[in-house]
Structure 1
């Protein structure tokens, strides 16, 4: 690794995967926000907006799925620590045409961050949208899925940069 690169911490001295020991880490307030998008035909988005999907209220079910997934992240992602989440908020918006945007903000007070919980929440919500709408359209596309912000912890705050993919850390 080049000088200044972050060290990968999920490997033991034998080069095998391990769960990082967070015993000595400070308890701090931590927040992370992630987003994803589901691209679909305008007719599918219109069905979602009008409540015309036969399986029911797509956004209500996707919201619950996202919250449940955030709470179960450590069961999905092998090296994640189980966390007592203090809050999960899922928000939806659309461009009025063909894209549903899903954003999740997750909060806790603890020794490790909630980035994976926020990413898991938007992923599960998007998959739920797909599941509920697949009878109307199978060509939906999910993504990109990305971390927008995170705060708290030793590494400080992070705010995603512009649409060109540039990232930056704010202190």
Structure 2
């Protein structure tokens, strides 16, 4: 968007130099979906504790899945200018792969604004919980690669990240 009479972009979250929440009152509620992913890189000792089930805090993946689901519903409490919206569905999966734990979250709503931030928050909160659960095994657990994979619905249309999800390089 540009301001009338010029090529300067119009700031949607600022008016007269002050932050504001965008008014979505006149926008129609439509079905919207967003999917995000992230990775948790695991040092050998953390991977071993996870695989063997010997982590002193319990099962990191189950706890992280629940935390991600809860995080999707609490996004507006964490992201300052994010609208509180009804999350009508959410899925969070955590998969142990060679590159680490892959987290994928899909969030759905019927609302006047999208759910990208809810999907990204679900992934991030789940990743933080994996770290918290495994930090006794290794403080070198690393969160990386959080990104939006796709979104559907809304005025801006659909978005799909280019290419397939790429696991993090464990050596880099």
Structure 2 length-normalised TM: 0.87
Q: Is the 8 A contact 1:119 1:147 kept in 2?
A: yes
| 2:89 matched residue in structure 1 | 87
Match in the other structure for 2:19: 17
SS at match of 1:132: helix
Q: Counterparts in 2 of 1:55-134, with a 5 A limit?
A: 55-96=57-98, 98-134=99-135
Which ranges of structure 1 fall in alignment gaps of 5 or more residues? Answer: 166-171
Following TM superposition, by how much is the alpha carbon of 1:15 offset from its aligned partner in structure 2, in angstroms? 1.9
- Assess if the C-alpha contact under 8 Å between 2:45 and 2:138 holds in 1: no
- The alignment of Structure 1 onto Structure 2 pairs a total of residues equal to 163
Does 2:153 align with 1:140?
A: no
Q: Distance in 2 between matches of 1:158 and 1:11?
A: 25
Using structure 1 for the length normalisation, give the TM-score: 0.87
Gaps of 5+ in 2: 167-172
Note if contact 1:45-1:100 (Cα within 8 Å) is conserved in structure 2. no
1:148-159 correspondence runs (5 A): 148-159=149-160
- Whole-angstrom distance in 1 between the partners of 2:29 and 2:8: 25
1:54 matched to 2:56 = yes
Structure-1 separation of matches of 2:151 and 2:11 = 19
Return closer, same or farther for 1:103/1:6 CA change in 2, 3 Å cut-off: farther
